Amino acid sequence: MKKFTWSVAPSGDVVNPVVNVVKFVPRQNLVLAGCSDDHVSAKCFDTLTGETVEEFHRVSGNCFTLDISKDGALACFGDASGALHFENVNYSF
């Protein structure tokens, strides 16, 4: 089992909001997650280390849904404002 930390409060407490959706990035050791968070509602995590790879700041309020293309190059996030956000997620390590 791997633990992922969404954020850390100023007090040092770990903050893990409600997770609404998770998708694995094809052919990568990465996972995209969408949560109920007021600051950053979608992130990409490295599945081997648990570290945050990218934060998607344009997704606001809650990330209720997400999907990723079969080639792992494009992700789509749906948020609480009713907007769809498309992001290039070509990662090379």
The tokens of 29 are what?
Answer: 């050791």
Exposure pattern of 55-90 as b/e (b: 16+ CB <10 Å)?
ebeebbebbbebebeeebeebebbbeeeeebebebe
Residue with tokens 């404002």: 81
Q: What is the pLDDT of residues 11-67, one digit of tens each?
A: 999 988 999 999 999 989 999 999 998 889 999 999 999 999 999 999 988 999 999
Report the distance separating Cα 59 and Cα 76, nearest Å: 10
Q: What torsion, rounded to 10 degrees, do the Cα atoms 81, 65, 34, 67 define?
A: -130
Q: What pTM value is reported for the model?
A: 0.88
Residue 93 has pLDDT above 70, yes or no: no
Q: What is the pLDDT of residues 42-53, one digit of tens each?
A: 999 999 999 999
